[in-house]
Structure 1
Amino acid sequence: MKNRIFFIVSFLISFVNFAQELKPPDLLTSEASWGKEIIQMPIHFAPQIPYKGVEEIRFSPDWSKQDKDGYWSYVFVWDIDLKTLLTSQQLEIDVQYYFDGLMAVVNKDKDKKLPKTVALFLKKEVKPNYVSFVGKLQIYNSFHTKDIMVLNCTVAQFYCPKKQKSIVLFRFSPKELEHNIWNELNAVTLAKKPCKH
């Protein structure tokens, strides 16, 4: 009987440890009020984006409130198998696939032909294994207004040669980059140094 109890306890401990190992560590840190979501990549709504890995998202608590500064303000990071630094053109293509796919999934009017996402990114800074961009997107908002909206965006990519992967950090808001909401967006940061994940 003792052996059986010992076996069951050992099994349960092993199972709990295994389950904890499966749970990915947080890639981002934010205030507790910010919403969180994790998506495996390739992304189900944008399979054209070719990377494998994980996306972690943090939403402003006011993300869905159109009368608040935090409306549509959020941050996400990709931890992916990208082995080169992004170009403006590749980033534009990836983001267009992302938002076109997302809005198509959310759209409830299946007879409506949704406007395509338009993206423009300019390189801001380039260093060894690092590149950053600033950009604007014109997207169709299937979530709320059912209309076109403009998002401002910043992107930073950290390439980790030893791990042969990249960390790509995106921040979005319809507010201009000088608006106070960007202080909140910039306070959502990577949980660890990029290549320590």
Structure 2
Amino acid sequence: MAARAGLTIDSLTASAAELADEVGFERVTVSELARRVGVKPASLYSHLRGSDDLRGRISVLALSELGDRLSIALAGRSGRHALDAVVTVMRSYAHEHPGRWESTQVRITASEAGPVGAKVGALMLGIMRGYDIPPQEQTHAVRLVSAAVDGFIRLQANGSFDRSEPNAEASWTRMIQALDTALSHWPAGAPDGSSVDNRETDNSERTSR
């Protein structure tokens, strides 16, 4: 294969993202990317520090794309309408770009994510403010939604819902209804993240003795 001229970090990242969607995020390496673009791996090290750097750039690209979609979908929406919008965007993005979606679920530092990571985080937190969830509880609520959606996506992709009824779409609808209920009736929690009053626990234990 003839080498491609004019490779840039942006074009390499875009090619790597396409590769991730085809073969899986964890299988993306500098060597695999070099084969895809028709150069020797050594030629890419003037642009990349290694495979971890490459995968991190895919994550940033995916977060940027996801943030743009979320911004459009959430405009003018709050509460249940905002929740419906965000989970629909997350699911459709995962179906269209499975490798890129996977890249948004791996560890990446705040400095690496930069403004795109902050944008996605702010959009997600904005949904929780629409449910009147206290500031100290909003991160917990975002994690609940993210975990539920990503878990559903992974299970469906693995065929886990194919062997039983009702179909996956019915369960997806019920999951969103359950999330809306949970967010609408969010339990009070202590500022340190604990949701259990230790004094009540101690009193309960003494009563049962």
TM over 0.5: no
Which one scores higher on RCO, CA 8 angstroms, separation ≥ 6? 1
TM-score by length of 2: 0.22
Please identify the structure whose Cα radius of gyration is greater. Answer: 2
Give the structure with the larger helix fraction: 2
Give the structure with the larger strand fraction: 1
TM-score by length of 1: 0.23
